[in-house]
Amino acid sequence: MYLKSIEIRGFKSFADRTHLDFREGITAVVGPNGSGKSNISDAVRWVLGEQSVKSLRGGKMEDVIFSGTEYRKPLGFAEVTLVLDNSSKSLPVAFTEVSVTRKLYRSGDSEYLINNNQCRLRDIHEMFMDTGIGKEGYSLIGQGKIEAILSGKMEDRRALLEEAAGIVKYKSRKEEAEKKLTNTDLNLLRVTDILTTYE
Ligand code: ATP
């Protein structure tokens, strides 16, 4: 699986629709300081469901929308689409090409799409679980991340290894099942209380 292309529109410094094609192997993005190189990796992180504005180098989520320049008015929404090659079927979907889109309006409304079909953020998280690509995945190594991994907490390192080992989805399903069990126990307790009241 590899990143085939990215289309950015209204995201940070990319006011106009910008389409970048990538090939298998290494791609280097070069350009002067402040020209928008990191904004490309921010766009990748964002479309994968990043919710932390800090890691997107902003103060609030609206900051990812093109805020205008001396010569150009601000835009009303930001949209990013990633296209991934899935011929290896690494993603648990039947398609050999998968696109993921995120759109955010200044009103705060947002949309997520997989292959142009509306979906929930959760569907995107689940699709990328255990692939290393998700927003917490190791496929995005930002500045300082290696050092953070090496000198960070043991639990954080473990989370990274668990993602690589492919067991995150089982952990997440276990957590969900445990939550349901706790809720069922609480419901049972309420039923017992009600029954006791009527006895
Ligand atoms: P460096 O080489 O210094 O790390 P870079 O090429 O990685 O730079 P970025 O950090 O990607 O550059 O881009 C910074 C530019 O993006 C700045 O000029 C900033 O004004 C612009 N920018 C960031 N957010 C927005 C926004 N919402 N609207 C318009 N421009 C923005």
Q: Is 41 in the pocket of ligand 1 (CB under 6 A)?
A: no
**CA nearest neighbour of 48 among 153, 170, 161, 138:** 138
What's the mean pLDDT in 160-185? Answer: 88
CB count within 10 Å of CB 139 equals 15
**CA nearest neighbour of 48 among 177, 135, 170:** 135
Distance 156 CA to ligand 1 centre (A): 29
The confidence band for 8, taking pLDDT boundaries of 50, 70 and 90, is: very high
Q: Is 63 in the pocket of ligand 1 (CB under 6 A)?
A: yes
Tens-digit pLDDT profile for residues 111-128:
999 999 999 999 998 898
Percent of the chain with pLDDT over 90: 61
Phi/psi region, residue 102 (left: phi>0; alpha: psi -120 to 50; beta: rest), is beta
Instruction: Let me know: does 87 contact 6? Beta carbons within 8 Å.
Output: no
pLDDT for position 140: 80
Q: What is this model's ipTM? A: 0.95
Percent of the chain with pLDDT over 70: 98
**CA nearest neighbour of 112 among 128, 127, 98, 101:** 101
Q: Enumerate the known binding-site residues for ATP.
A: 32-39
Q: Is 9 in the pocket of ligand 1 (CB under 6 A)?
A: no
